[in-house]
């Protein structure tokens, strides 16, 4: 006797369509900017009529919300994969995490703007979409406290330092490495202020 399938094919098709809509939304955001995303443009890109999109997303902000949650979920997964590989040295670990976030941020301007800047008037992420962002922040703060011994104020300075490097790179040398090359020096200056010991040199 053949077993019965537990697959919900209708739900699978619906989810596949949602993914296709989000992919189209990202393409438009990258080509024309986040603020120029429209339901009509998204629908046209995937061969769907604009009113049909409301079966999958209640509004344009609902699409932004899904994009926001997707972005931070992707970065959270990257952090979870990267943390076990961090060096023992607090200074080296700080540099490693800085490079991780910097590289992720500058790789996609539209994604960075949605994740970290208030680019869209009136858009506020839902608690569900914001949850992975909070998880990243909590992990980062816990790691910072454990490795560097800094308080909340020092952690805020660190996040502002990294964000400033990202913004300078995006604004002044997109696709280049002018500010990427300054990461280690900037982190060293901050680490000196925290009193972190120098990273031990490897012996030959």
Q: Is the pLDDT of residue 204 over 60?
A: no
- Average pLDDT (119-139) is 95
- Average pLDDT (116-129) is 93
Average pLDDT value over all residues in the chain: 92
pLDDT at 161: 97
Q: pTM of the full predicted structure?
A: 0.90
- Average pLDDT (172-190) is 96
Distances (CA, A) of 197 to 25, 36, 78, 97, 154: 46, 48, 27, 17, 17
**pLDDT tens per residue across span 48-93:** 888 888 889 999 999 999 999 999 999 999 999 999 999 999 999 9
CA distance 195 to 147: 12
DSSP string, 73-104: HHHHHHHHHHGGG--SSHHHHHHHHHHHHHHH
Stretch among 1-10, 22-31, 65-74 having the lowest mean pLDDT: 1-10
pLDDT at 1: 45
pLDDT at 89: 94
Stretch among 9-23, 121-135, 171-185 having the lowest mean pLDDT: 9-23
pLDDT at 181: 97
Q: Which CATH number fits domain 8-57: 3.40.50.2300, 3.20.20.100, 3.40.50.740, 1.10.10.60?
A: 1.10.10.60
- Average pLDDT (128-137) is 97
pLDDT at 63: 96
pLDDT at 5: 59
Rounded to 5 degrees, what angle do the CA atoms 135, 146, 186 make? 85
pLDDT at 2: 52
The ranges assigned to domains in the chain are 8-57, 59-194
pLDDT at 52: 87
**Domain 59-194 falls in which CATH fold?**
Tetracycline Repressor; domain 2 (1.10.357)
Residue 148: exposure state from Cβ atoms within 10 A (0-12, 13-18, ≥19)? buried
């Amino acid at each position: 006797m053949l077993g019965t399938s537990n697959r919900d094919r209708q739900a699978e098709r619906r989810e596949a369509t949602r993914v296709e809509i989000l992919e189209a939304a990202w393409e438009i955001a990258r080509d024309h900017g986040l603020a120029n995303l429209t339901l009509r443009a998204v629908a046209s890109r995937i061969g769907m009529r604009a009113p049909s999109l409301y079966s999958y997303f209640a509004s344009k902000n609902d699409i932004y919300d899904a994009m926001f949650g997707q972005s931070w979920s992707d970065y959270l997964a990257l952090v979870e994969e990267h943390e076990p590989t961090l060096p023992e040295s607090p200074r080296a670990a700080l540099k490693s995490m800085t490079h991780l976030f910097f590289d992720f941020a500058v790789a996609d301007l539209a994604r960075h703007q949605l994740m970290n800047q208030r680019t869209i008037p009136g858009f506020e992420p839902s608690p569900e979409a914001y949850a992975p962002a909070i998880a990243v922040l909590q992990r980062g703060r816990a790691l910072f406290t454990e490795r560097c011994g800094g308080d909340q104020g020092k952690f805020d300075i660190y996040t502002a330092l990294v964000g400033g490097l990202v913004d300078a790179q995006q604004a002044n040398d997109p696709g280049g490495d002018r500010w990427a090359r300054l990461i280690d020096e900037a982190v060293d200056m901050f680490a000196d202020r925290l009193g972190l010991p120098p990273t031990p040199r490897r012996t030959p």
